[in-house]
Structure 1
Amino acid sequence: MSHTAHIRSHRKPRPRSASKLALRAGVAGGVLSTIAVAGSAGPANAEPVTETIEMPALTLDAPALASAVALSAETTQQAALDAQLQTQEDAAAAKAAKAAKKAKDEAVRKAEAEKKAEEASRAEAERASRTSERTTLSASGSTKSDSSTPSGSVGTVIAFLKAQLGDAYVMGATGPNAWDCSSLVQAAYRQVGVDLPRVSQDQSVAGTPVSLDNVQVGDILYWGGAGSAYHVGVYVGNGQYLDAANPSKGVVIQDLSGYPASGAVRVL
């Protein structure tokens, strides 16, 4: 046996395993970290093994930073564009709604105007129909009136009226070759210095009211209400009257039996 066999070896035992790893890292500017590995098993006097590792410094790449900034700006710009587009769409919708309401109101007004025009046309057609029901006198039939013309002012009025037989009827016309009902009556009485109102409504109340049973030559006959008459003529005797009837007849002499008058007034 060796003389040193009983002497304990002075070699330091190697640690069998590492059980703990401590990592401390610094980020800005490349901080040095120390990783300490200590043996948790083995002899108490085992020395720890240490190793120093340098961690890489965290740096920001300039292109990457620029890209990130550009992406953020693009996102912000897109959000602004989206908001602007929504505002424009809202404004367009409001404008379209306003235009639709205006068009609807205009259509309603147009429909009402057309309805009124249609009612007025119907009323005119009814009046023309009533007028057309009057007996149309032939040239020979028109001589049924008194052969002798009354004297004085009445004679002058009747003579003027008969001189206009065959003239045209034109609404609003005042002669000398075309008349409406009231302008013919007004012109006839102007021959004797009587200034009658222009329209039939006023002429129907311009003189002294007389009953149709007592009507005389030269009296004004009217159709409709007194003060609201729509037609006038002049009584020429023998149950007949002379008037500017309508566009299809013109100035004629007609029988009262064909279309009886509503009333009469006397001005002479």
Structure 2
Amino acid sequence: MSHTAHIPSHRKPRRSASKLAVRAGVAGGVLSTLAMAGTASASPSAEPVAETTLEMPVLNLDLGADVSSAVTVAAENTRLAAVEGELTAQEESARTGAAAEAKQAKEEAQKKADAEKAEKTAKAEGDRKAEAERSSRSSGSERTTLKSAAAPQGSGTVSAPATGSAAAIVNFARAQVGKAYVMGGTGPSSFDCSGLVQAAYRQAGISLPRMSQAQSSAGTSVSLSALQPGDILYWGSKGSAYHVAIYVGGGKFVGAQNPSTGIVERNLSYDKPTGAVRVL
């Protein structure tokens, strides 16, 4: 027999509870070490050693419930975050929409204001032009009235144009307008006052004296308020006039005035004559 046959045997502590705690992932759990002691008998005839077994406390870990709770919490947090994000997006969209509407409303208001301003400006311009036109017509009427009142007798327009001998005289006189005044001139390129009158009457087959003094006493005297085309106008006294011209109607006369102006057509108001005679 071996000299070690009667050495008492010893059992190592069980580690099943420790392994269970590690596998379950429970942090901070401290498991007690299980010791089992036995005393081996010194001889084959010794009484057997009694073994004592300690029961370990059972850990009641509901891992499924914990995981489910964690998942539920995470899902709720995710839902809340999504709701918050959606609300933020809606608020941003509302702000953007409100800003766009405000901008559009402002632009429309500006366009309306511009249109009203343009309309008022156009209306004011139209009123101004209408007033200016009325004033112009009124001023024209006043000028015509004043001119008629201030014009010398015989300045009115005749009711009909000159005909016959009078037309021949008037047409010839007007055809000479613009030619030169030359003392003693009888045409055809230049005239003096009496030379023009004599040449004009020659177109109607009428012979007149050469000098203005004699011409002013030819024919019959007529009032300046009853002049007719072809009448002879004179300045100075009848029979001793120093200037003569031909009345052409419409309150105008044609005469060889002086070397500066030559032969011109003027209103009677330009140089009011003294009297008139009618030869026709």
Instruction: Place the TM-score, normalised by the shorter chain, in its bin.
Output: 0.3 to 0.5
Structure showing the higher helix proportion among its residues: 2
User: What is the TM-score with the length of structure 2 in the denominator?
Assistant: 0.43
Structure showing the higher strand proportion among its residues: 1
